[in-house]
A = this chain, B = another copy of it.
Amino acid sequence: MFERTDTLRGMTSPAPTRAYRRLSVEERQRQLKEAALSLFAVRAPDEVSLDDVAEAAGVSRPLVYRYFPGGKQQLYEAALRSAADELEQCFAEPPEGPLTQRLANALDRYLAFVDQHDAGFSALLQGGSVVETSRTTAIVDEVRRTAAEHILAHLEVVGATGPRLRMTVRMWITSVEAASLIWLDEEKQPPLDELRDWLVEQFMAVLVASAGRDPQTAEAVRGALAMETAEGPAGSLARRVLPVVSDAAHLL
């Protein structure tokens, strides 16, 4: 994660001139995509010109066109594609330890991505951008689907995933996106680790509520809770929530 951050940060300073001819096509394209992404992070894509990208990468505008003849739209889509690949790698987490810990690990990487891509992330998800097309929407949807598949794999569902559990997971993923946008909009408050823990708790909450209606989700919840500890997030949530609902014995 830190390695990636440093790589991207490095792209905002012009590349040394001596490297101008030495990069391979692939390296040059990657350099330009990273320069574009670093600009989209601080300004909305609409406000970034190809000249800006050329300048950030320390190359000429014709050189940008040589590698991206389709201009800004092509560069934007290529940069988005590469950001989506990076984002999908955030979700990979070994199936070890309590579910809340795995989710926290993946969220740490996801939220670092949000933090780093900032304005570009907002612009993409909020829509209304002139560079948004059905292709960019499809890339975003693919990332969402990948995230859902990772989570469902960790829930170790036996057989096909039913619509209720799938819908619960997809709803939570959407609400994580919403939280990310609000977080960027509200000057990155609360701190990332607090936001992460809270999102993990929200996941547990919606999963438990769906378990009340769906045997498959109930099975997944039972399996997940069995691996949680009193010291971990699930125990902490249980102890903090109990006093709030303890006055509601009239509901039982």
Is A247 on the interface with B (CB-CB < 8 A)?
A: yes
Residues of B within 8 A of A240 (CB): 212-213
Residues of B within 8 A of A252 (CB): 230, 235, 238-239, 242
Give per-residue flags for A152-187: 1 if the beta carbon is below 8 A from chain B beta carbons, else 0: 000000000001100110111111011100100010
> Which residue in chain B gives the minimum CB-CB distance to A209?
B205
Q: Tell me whether A171 and B202 are in contact (CB under 8 A).
A: yes
**Known contacts A127-B127, A171-B178: does B209 contact A237 (CB below 8 Å)?**
yes
CB within 8 A of A171: which of B136, B168, B179, B248?
B179
A176 to chain B minimum Cβ distance, whole angstroms, is: 8
B202 A218 Cβ-Cβ under 8 A: no
Q: Which residue of B lies closest to A218 (CB)?
A: B244
Which residues of chain B are near A225, meaning CB under 8 Å? 245, 247-248, 251
* CB closest residue in chain B, given A129: B134
Number of interface residues of A (CB under 8 A): 62
Which residues of B have CB within 8 Å of A201? 209-210, 212-213
* A221 part of interface (Cβ distance < 8 Å): yes
- The reply on A18 being an interface residue by CB < 8 A is no
Quote the shortest CB–CB distance from A215 to chain B (angstroms). Answer: 10
> Are B163 and A170 touching (Cβ within 8 A)?
no
Tell me, yes or no, whether A49 is within 8 Å of chain B by CB: no
> Chain B residues near A210 (CB, 8 Å)?
198, 201-202
Name the distance in Å between A210's Cβ and chain B's nearest Cβ.
7
Asked if B226 and A247 make an inter-chain contact with CB atoms under 8 angstroms apart, the answer reads: yes
Interface string of A93-130 (1 = CB under 8 A from B): 00000000000000000000000000000000011100
Contact string, A20-48, partner B, CB cutoff 8 A, digits 1/0?
00000000000000000000000000000
Q: What are 7 A-B contacts with C-beta separation under 8 Å? A: A128-B133, A164-B190, A211-B244, A228-B248, A229-B251, A238-B245, A242-B252
Q: What is the interface of chain A, defined by CB distance below 8 A to chain B?
A: 126-128, 132-138, 163-164, 167-168, 170-175, 177-179, 182, 186, 189-190, 198, 201-202, 204-206, 208-213, 218, 221-222, 225-226, 228-230, 234-235, 237-242, 244-245, 247-248, 250-252
Closest 5 CB pairs of A and B: A212-B240, A128-B137, A205-B209, A174-B178, A171-B175
